[in-house]
A = this chain, B = another copy of it.
Amino acid sequence: MFNEVKSLNEECGVFGVWGAENANYLTYLGLHSLQHRGQEGAGIVTNDNGKLMSYRNLGLVSQVFSDQKNLYALTGNSAIGHVRYSTAGENKIENVQPLLFDFTDDQFALAHNGNLTNAITLKKELEQSGHIFKSSSDSEVLMHLIKKSNKSNLIDKIKESLNTIQGGFAYLLMTRDSLIIALDSNGFRPLSIGQLENGSYVVASETCALDAVNAKFVRDVLPGELITINDEGMKIDHWTTKTKLAFCSMEFVYFARADSNLLGINVHSARKRMGRNLAEEYPVEGDIVVGVPNSSLSAASGYAEAIKLPYEMGLIKNQYMGREFIQPTQELREKSVRQKLAAVKGVVKDKRVILVDDSIVRGTTCAYIVKMLRDAGAREVHLRIASPQFKFPCFFGIDIQKKSELIASHKSVEEMRKMFDADSLEFLSEEGLVDAIGLSKDRNLPDSGLDLSYFNGKYPTYLYDYADEVEKDS
């Protein structure tokens, strides 16, 4: 993956708008600002007076619509869009969303951010009763359940179906006359509603997309909510009232864009507090503080301020790195990695560097970055990680589903330190992370309000299809 040096991918971003001119272009802008949530593919479905039409393809938003005709052919005043994460080797356009379903006498489109934990079981059951799936993703299960439901109206069908699926989901559904929004009962994934100047509603995975279309923030979607937006306005309903907030902590640590507010909390500020707390928990003597660009820069500046050391640009990222970049032959491999990220010799030479990274997942780039700093003349490299040890896989929307891929799950801190050749290595405590985010404080919650299972293995819900896997993998 070329965008970040870390192989940790969000599954998706979603955007929707109802009743606004240029719905196609607004959705394009919205998706563009959510591009960090997925670079594999993108698509838009618009609704032109009850007729749904779609365009989607593999690539970045700007590449998918590099021929403008494909965007402007999507007429109508309402739309939903989706960006999908990037994996190597998979170029299946079938999985690019939104999925548009053409029934003989109806149309229905769906965009999903998250991951269902009982999709495998449900899919198998549905197939046994004759259902055929068009994509290999789990997102389509909901549509089949709705189609199969015996309830008399669509909202009841949807409610029944949502009560059947398990896991993390932020769903946007476009019908001929409404935009329907649903969030899982734990609110794992972010989803916010805004309003354009003319009063039209927009919905997006992150508030940065509301800003991108100049929409005013209205409210976050809450766990268990089922919201219908149509020409009569917005109606907030619930598909379940058994809810318990367990918002994905990694959205704060790594995924979300720094300018987004998640549940009212600014991401950059939270990250900066993670850096501050980390400095208080694990101070160290050094000359300069350096962050791994781009995701760790906020935490690094927080660390630097707290410990009163200069915050320096000791690593620099090439902003022109793209998919077309020619990968070198094996012998030239090392030179290529240097193209994404470079150590700034003039800054780190002869310095004791405190290197702040937001998290360690596979650990493959950590060793490389430390070496790069040492080659550039750093006298010492102290690694400080602005989140706890990432030991447990995620089943609610991030593509890490194996413990074996997580270095912290099978190495001690000291083993990792040696592997990375760092002079010291420390991780932010769970308490430090919870405090930095400040959700429980902010909302006066009985607990953290966060899904911290990455760090402690305590999953907020039963894992269904993945329950055995977690056991086995341990």
Query: For A101, what are the chain B residues with a Cβ–Cβ distance below 8 Å?
Result: 132-133
Q: Are A127 and B144 in contact (CB under 8 A)?
A: no
A267/B346 in contact, CB under 8 A: yes
- Judge if A311 is at the interface, Cβ distance under 8 Å: yes
In the complex, A133 Cα to B108 Cα: how many Å?
12
In the complex, the answer to whether A344 meets B259 with C-beta atoms within 8 Å is yes
How many copies of this chain does one complex carry?
4
What 1/0 mask marks residues of chain A from 54 to 67 whose CB sits below 8 Å from any chain B CB? Answer: 01010011110110
The docked-state distance in angstroms from the alpha carbon of A29 to that of B332 is: 10
> Are B129 and A130 in contact, CB atoms less than 8 angstroms apart?
yes
User: Do residues A326 and B28 form an inter-chain contact, with CB atoms below 8 A?
Assistant: yes
Q: Is A22 in the interface zone, CB < 8 Å from B?
A: yes
Q: Of A209-217, A222-230, A394-402, A423-431, which binds chain B?
A: A209-217
C-alpha spacing A68/B324, complex, angstroms: 9
> In the bound complex, do residue B120 and residue A147 qualify as a contact, i.e. CB atoms below 8 Å apart?
no
Q: Is A162 an interface residue (CB 8 A)?
A: no
Closest to A100 in B: B94
Count how many chain A residues have C-beta atoms less than 8 Å from C-beta atoms of the other chain.
95
Most central of A101, A124, A129, A259 by chain B CB within 10 Å: A259
User: A63 — which chain B residues lie within 8 A by C-beta?
Assistant: 324
Task: Give the chain B neighbours of A417 by CB distance below 8 A.
Answer: none
Chain B residues with CB under 8 A of A339: 29, 32-33, 212
Cβ–Cβ contact B265 & A346, under 8 A: yes
Contact of A259 among B207, B305, B324, B345 (CB under 8 A): B345
Complex partner residue of A268 from B132, B259, B298, B312, CB under 8 angstroms: B312
Q: Does A338 lie within 8 Å of B132, measured CB to CB?
A: no
Q: Return chain B residues, CB-CB under 8 Å to A70.
A: 91
Say whether A213 contacts B311, CB under 8 Å.
Answer: no
Q: Is A134 an interface residue (CB 8 A)?
A: yes
Say how far A261's CB is from chain B's closest CB, in angstroms. Answer: 5
A208 in the interface, Cβ–Cβ < 8 Å? yes
Closest CB of chain B to A44's CB: distance in Å?
A: 12
Cα(A305)–Cα(B304), bound, Å:
10
CB contact list, A252-270 vs B, under 8 A = 257-261, 265-269
Q: Decide yes or no: A269 and B346 within 8 Å by CB, A33-B339, A120-B104 being known contacts.
A: yes
A104-B123, A120-B104, A322-B60 given as contacts; is B336 within 8 A of A29 (CB)?
Answer: yes
Q: Is the CB of A347 within 8 A of B313?
A: no
Q: Is A463 an interface residue (CB 8 A)?
A: no
List chain B residues, Cβ under 8 A from A272. Answer: 310, 312
CA–CA, A469 and B24, complex, Å:
36
- Which residues on the B side are within 8 Å of A211 (C-beta)? 338, 342-343, 345
* A318-B268 CB under 8 A given contacts A144-B132, A147-B132, A258-B344: no
Q: Contacts A94-B134, A132-B132, A258-B313 given; 14 further ones with Cβ under 8 A?
A: A29-B338, A33-B339, A60-B322, A62-B325, A62-B326, A68-B326, A130-B147, A132-B134, A258-B316, A261-B345, A268-B344, A301-B311, A301-B313, A305-B311
Q: Which 8 A-B pairs have the closest CB atoms?
A: A266-B346, A134-B134, A259-B344, A130-B148, A62-B324, A35-B320, A66-B324, A259-B316
Taking beta carbons and an 8 Å cutoff, which residues of A are in contact with B? 3, 22, 25-26, 28-29, 32-33, 35-36, 39, 55, 57, 60-63, 65-66, 68, 70-71, 91, 93-94, 101-105, 120, 123-124, 126-127, 129-134, 136, 140, 143-144, 147-148, 207-208, 211-214, 257-261, 265-269, 272, 294, 297-298, 301, 305, 310-313, 316, 318-320, 322, 324-326, 328-329, 332, 334-336, 338-339, 342-347
What are 7 residue pairs bridging A and B, where the CB atoms are less than 8 Å apart in the complex?
A29-B328, A71-B326, A102-B133, A132-B133, A211-B338, A212-B335, A311-B311
